[in-house]
Structure 1
Amino acid sequence: MENVVCDRLTGARSSTIARIWCAMFLYIMVTRIVGVDGLTKRSRPTDAIDRLSKVFGISKIPARIFHRSPPQYMTELYNSITETGGLTTKAGPYNADVVRSFPDKDSVHRMHFHYNVSQYGEEGSLLEAEFHIFKMKPRPSEEAEMKPTHLIEMKIYQVLSMEEMFQPKGLRLLDARRVSAHVHGWQKFRVKRAVEAWLNDTTTNFGLLVTTTSLHGHHVNGSYIRFAQRNEHHDSKQPILVVFTEEHLQRHPNFIKPEDAEYLEIKRDIEAREQEKVRRKELMMRRKALRFLNEGHRARMMGMNPAQEDSRIMSALKQSQGGRGRTKRSTGQSSRKGNGRKKRTFDMISRYRNRRTCSKQQMYVDFDEIGWSGWIISPKGYNAYHCTGECPFPLGQSQKPTNHATVQSIVHALRVGKDVGTPCCVPNKLYSISLLYFDDDENVILKQYDDMVAATCGCH
């Protein structure tokens, strides 16, 4: 039912942002009519949130809140390709639009790692796969352990047979490199051949094996050469498998540039929203202080210790004021009241005109209000904007009309065409955004979405 309604409201070939707006509008209207509980009970299988999840390409919404930290590589990658509000600045590594990191699930040896990638075999073309492992700082051993030479050789193998995991015929070499024995940090290896084999036949997935040897071939694993393990070190340092894929979708990437006028406007809106959050927080603190005052008054009436209550009240007041004293009102302020009133009137008229003519208006998608903040890591929300207003004759250049819209406006004004309406106010420039989130299997995913933020509006 919602598909039909949204198709009629936005058009069968409408943009992604229009469908998101439609889904959120239907969700808000239905919840106001029947309430959230009524919506959950009556239309849960086809409600607007389910439709919104399909827009984001998320087949299964995680049913739990994740408290662990995402892998360090994923957060750094997200920060390197996005700006404020998740706006994408450039393509991901290998030009991938989806990057998935898999945590190590189980193993039979400290240097054996296993990753379940079977459920992602049909969700795009595999571009590359990397194995990331964090080399810890060397730690002196209490035993008489011989320190390795300056250089060691790290090799990563695909395990072909669990029974022959420590024999040459049970392994296939994937990648190797020489590293310093005394440094610490991330080590990356390419393992695309192994992941391709696992996706083609899941029964061949016996995991990966890492070995470290001296240049003479002697094994040097021990307390001096050691690596972060999944259950022994911080979540951000866990060994991960990173898979880079490209979905089989028609893409329209449009990356922002920090100097773009449209981006600067979006950034100002986000900063204003953050300032509004701070203002609301301060207001809540002042209300809390007022409640303390009322409680103090009641305490005195009931014969409680007034000194203790006064101390608590003064502490709350200082916290609400943030250490700022009261400022005197300027004597010249009254003389400026008339100018301020005129300015407010002018601003109201300007806003009214902007709303009547085709213009961009705010439409903030708050993942906390939707109920997705428990599994979406970044951003916590974004301003998608929406286009609204009229496209009356004659169309000016400020309305960014197409030639077709200009002709349509003229035909409508001359009334020479039957059932020809005025042009529509729609986005004529859209930005891409990226989301970093957990899926239901504890995997962390960085995904790019095109046509998500209306940068400018025009008459089409």
Structure 2
Amino acid sequence: MIFVLFSGDPGYAWRIYRWRRLSPVSSSLPAPHSISLRNPSCIGSQQTWTVSPCFIFCRDNMIPGNRMLMVILLCQVVLGESSHASLIPEEGKKKALSNHPGQSHELLRDFEATLLHMFGLQRRPRPSRSAVVPQYLLDLYRLQSGEVEEAEAHNVSFEYPEKSTSRANTVRAFHHEEHMEQVPSDRPYSTETPLRFFFNLSGIPEDELLSTAELRLYRQQIEEPGLESQHLGNEDLHRINVYEVLKPPRPGQLITRLLDTRLVSHNTTSWESFDVSPAVLRWTHERLPNYGLAVEVLHLNQTPRHQGKHVRMSRSLHHTSEEEWDQLRPLLVTFGHDGKGHPLTRRTKRSPKQRGRKRNRNCRRHALYVDFSDVGWNDWIVAPPGYQAYYCHGDCPFPLADHLNSTNHAIVQTLVNSLNSNIPKACCVPTELSAISMLYLDETDRVVLKNYQEMVVEGCGCR
């Protein structure tokens, strides 16, 4: 214990008396000394015989009084001197796992269950080896998470869909069911009958509010470079129409409604995006039957040998490898919001933090890396492999400095704690949190890009 005698007269000598109750083990220790100082601006102690470091406050920080004598009792118990770099050191992990394998397995199971609940998943996804992650969602993740800087963005095969993501925090990708597609066998490249595609959207949760849905089709250049200049006007164009199928299809007959159309040039290679939001909203929100989409390509003055071959709509129409077809096949993308957190926003690449920081025991942010491979999730989480979550730890001493980001309540609580140790100090807690984006395969092998809120500590403070 420490008793500090404050005098209201600066001319008096300040005396600090220290003593402690000696246990039988430490009874041989020398008696504590008394220290006499004159007119100090602030008094502190680093005596080696004390049990724990103590904080002694300056007279200027106390409530003014007229030659008052105040005796304040203040002790801080410090459990350890070391500053931990992580919650569980690697060596401690290995030792704990070896001594208590059953307990560690139970902890990992509880940890996994907690994260799955937080991610909105009922069970742990176990994707098949045939599951394919579209390059579109990989590029979208890189742009959204800030892995691609503005200078590199032009190398990506598409522009960031600001409008689609402005009200969405979840992006889902669907490939069509190939066994249900209808391609005319007698006239596979005919423009008279549209090609029908069925997308199974049953994996979209009922509470997810969709804002936009788009059908992405890949078209490949068919013109030879030397002949491009010879084609003018309509010879360079074709029209792509996308329809909603309204009734169960019959052989050679589709009852459809036009959703989107576009006139494009066939001498360039690119992805084309078509708005199919009205149809998808009817299927998911109004619970109307889903009979699929239909696509037709109308060629303008094009030779029969080129018809249909440059738009990748069916595996049977193109001689491509399995890997190439997986990335170039039609793709339905939905943008939705689950009612939690904020929409997807494009982030900028962050510069690394300055290191070599002066050691400080006050409240601040510490590194805490969460590795998804620790719980065996690297088989269904595509990106990131882990992330820096950080955590807040440190002391909230009185008086609370401005950089500790304290509230008025924390300041009052810390002041009362200095007078009454039964009142706890203010706690070092996160004051600012940010989201992370995760690209993963769900329980049905569908690829999902989702924004999860409050996953990263950005700032700490005494509260």
The normalised TM-score by structure 2 is 0.63
Matches within 5 A, 1:93-172: 93-106=165-178, 107-110=180-183, 111-138=195-222, 149-164=235-250, 166-167=252-253, 170-172=255-257
Displacement after TM superposition at 1:164 (Å): 3.9
Kept in 2, the 8 Å contact 1:72–1:237? The answer is no
Separation of aligned partners in 1, 2:365 and 2:285: 48
Which among 432, 438, 443 is matched to residue 440 of structure 1? 443
Kept in 1, the 8 Å contact 2:299–2:307? The answer is no
Which among 117, 132, 141 is matched to residue 54 of structure 1? 117
Give the SS at the match of 1:204: coil
Q: 1:254 to 1:121 in 2, by over 3 A?
A: closer
- Among all aligned residue pairs of Structure 1 and Structure 2, give the percentage whose two residues are the same amino acid: 30
Q: Which has the higher helix share?
A: 1
Q: Which has the higher strand share?
A: 2
Separation of aligned partners in 2, 1:161 and 1:253: 35
- Residues 96-105 or 191-200, more deviating: 191-200
Which amino acid letter does the alignment assign opposite residue 242 of structure 1?
V
Corresponding residue of 2:135: 72
Separation of aligned partners in 2, 1:139 and 1:76: 28
Matches within 5 A, 1:216-231: 222=307, 224-227=309-312, 229=314
Separation of aligned partners in 2, 1:252 and 1:419: 44
Displacement after TM superposition at 1:123 (Å): 3.3
Cα deviation digits, residues 77-108 of structure 1 (max 9, x gap): 111121259xxx99772331001111122333
Matches within 5 A, 1:6-405: 34-35=100-101, 47-64=110-127, 66=129, 69-84=132-147, 93-106=165-178, 107-110=180-183, 111-138=195-222, 149-164=235-250, 166-167=252-253, 170-200=255-285, 204-215=289-300, 222=307, 224-227=309-312, 229=314, 232=322, 233-251=324-342, 258=349, 263-266=350-353, 350-351=358-359, 354=360, 356-405=361-410
What RMSD in Å do the two structures reach over aligned CA positions? 3.8
Kept in 2, the 8 Å contact 1:105–1:114? The answer is yes
- 5+ unaligned residues in a row in structure 2: which ranges? 1-86, 149-159, 184-194, 225-230, 316-320
Corresponding residue of 2:418: 413
Separation of aligned partners in 1, 2:309 and 2:336: 36
Q: 1:455 to 1:84 in 2, by over 3 A?
A: farther
Kept in 1, the 8 Å contact 2:167–2:343? The answer is no
Q: 1:238 to 1:123 in 2, by over 3 A?
A: farther
- Residues 66-75 or 108-117, more deviating: 66-75
Q: 1:237 to 1:193 in 2, by over 3 A?
A: same
Separation of aligned partners in 2, 1:90 and 1:177: 18
Separation of aligned partners in 2, 1:157 and 1:179: 17
| Higher gyration radius (CA) | 2
Cα deviation digits, residues 314-345 of structure 1 (max 9, x gap): xxxxxxxxxxxxxxxxxxxxxxxxxxxxxxxx
Separation of aligned partners in 1, 2:376 and 2:135: 25
Corresponding residue of 2:37: none
Displacement after TM superposition at 1:34 (Å): 3.6
Kept in 1, the 8 Å contact 2:143–2:346? The answer is no
Which amino acid letter does the alignment assign opposite residue 406 of structure 1?
I
Q: 1:118 to 1:223 in 2, by over 3 A?
A: closer
Displacement after TM superposition at 1:238 (Å): 2.4
Kept in 1, the 8 Å contact 2:400–2:411? The answer is yes
Relative contact order, higher structure (CA 8 A, sep 6+): 1
Q: 1:439 to 1:251 in 2, by over 3 A?
A: same
- 5+ unaligned residues in a row in structure 1: which ranges? 1-20, 141-146, 270-346
The normalised TM-score by structure 1 is 0.64
- Residues 74-83 or 379-388, more deviating: 74-83
Separation of aligned partners in 1, 2:208 and 2:313: 31
Which amino acid letter does the alignment assign opposite residue 416 of structure 2?
V
Which among 437, 456, 459 is matched to residue 456 of structure 1? 459
